[in-house]
Amino acid sequence: MKCPFCGADDTQVVDSRLNEEGNSIRRRRRCQVCDKRFTTYETAELHLPQVVKQNGNREEFKREKLRLSFTRALHKRPVPTEYVDKALDRIVQKVLGLGVREVPARLLGETVMQELKQMDQVAYIRFASVYRSFSDVDDFHNAIRDLDN
């Protein structure tokens, strides 16, 4: 690992620790040339599948785009951020577990709805109304009836 201060190739690992989740390693390093210390993080590089939109277009899987969906649905709702993070982790694990190169956007949307249904019913209805393009009050009644069942 190159030193970010002097660019030397000769750095030594002083300390290594696993993070709390166990999915990355934090390493303290010391440059043998300039004697400065710095931290690096080592994580597994995962290749998430492409998302296939309904119109056939393909785009890169973006965790932040999913987060934005949760954020919009949960706006001003009493749901801790850690719940959203855990839901995102479950969705990513599910997608990785499929072992495919492409995943339909519809599957992601349905998975987000399942997570929101367990997290907050108001957020679920908000997301469903946009995702399923509710056209009138009856659509809302049906969605709420489904929640009651």
pLDDT for position 18: 92
What confidence tier does 144 reach under pLDDT thresholds 50, 70, 90? confident
- The SS3 assignment for 44 reads coil
Quick check: 48 and 92 in contact, CB under 8 A?
A: yes
Quote the CA–CA distance of 94 and 67 in Å, as a whole number. Answer: 16
pLDDT, one tens digit per residue, over 39-48 is 999 988 778 8
pLDDT for position 60: 94
| pTM, full prediction | 0.65
pLDDT, one tens digit per residue, over 95-133 is 999 989 999 999 999 999 999 999 999 999 899 888 888
pLDDT, one tens digit per residue, over 68-100 is 999 999 999 999 999 999 999 999 999 999 989
Whole-angstrom Cα Rg for the chain? 21
**5 is written with which tokens?**
């201060």
pLDDT for position 81: 92
pLDDT for position 130: 87
